[in-house]
Every structure is written in C-alpha cells, then in structure tokens.
Amino acid sequence: MAMVTFRIDDRLARLLDRLSKQSGRPKSELIREALQRQLAVTRFEDLRQRTAPFAEARGWLTDEDVFRELS
C-alpha cells in the first residue's frame, strides 16, 4: 500500500480527531473513505458531462427522464 503525506488545517484536524474518537475508526481509514467517495463523485460528474450531449439529443434533460425511459 502506498503512503501519502499531506497537510490539513487545524480546524480540519480537530474535526477528523473528533470523528475518529466518536466512530472508533482510525483517521487513515476515514481519510481513505472520504477520498474514495470524492474520487467516485468526480468520476461520475465527468461521465455525466461527457454523456450529457447524447442524453439531450434523446430528450433526456433530467434524471427523471432517464429513469422513466429505463423503467
């Protein structure tokens, strides 16, 4: 497993410490989970942006339009 070192501000460090204590989970686990979620959101937004022109061409302008078509 690779190791990454980075700096966070004091406020974020306090919030991370508090969450770690409350949840009983290591800070590294919380950071990995948060990073995985953010990367998934970023990938989703990228995919959505790239496919939007195709969806709009089919008249799919909202999530409901897509759901209705696929249901």
Domain-embedded: residue 37: yes
Band of residue 69 on the pLDDT scale cut at 50, 70, 90: confident
Residue 64 zone, left/alpha/beta (φ > 0; ψ -120 to 50; rest): alpha
- Could you give the 3-state DSSP secondary structure of residue 69? helix
Band of residue 71 on the pLDDT scale cut at 50, 70, 90: confident
The predicted model scores a pTM of 0.73
Tokens of 32: 């990995």
Q: How confident is the model at residue 67, as a pLDDT?
A: 86
**Domain total of the chain:** 1
Domain-embedded: residue 18: no
Work out the burial of residue 33: count CB atoms within 10 Å of its CB; fewer than 13 is exposed, 13-18 middle, 19 or more buried. Answer: exposed
Question: CB–CB of 69/60 below 8 Å?
Answer: yes
Could you report the per-residue pLDDT of 11-68, keeping only the tens digit for each? 999 999 999 999 999 999 999 999 999 999 999 999 989 998 998 898 888 889 888 8
Question: CB–CB of 35/49 below 8 Å?
Answer: no
In which domain, by residue range, is 45 found?
A: 25-70
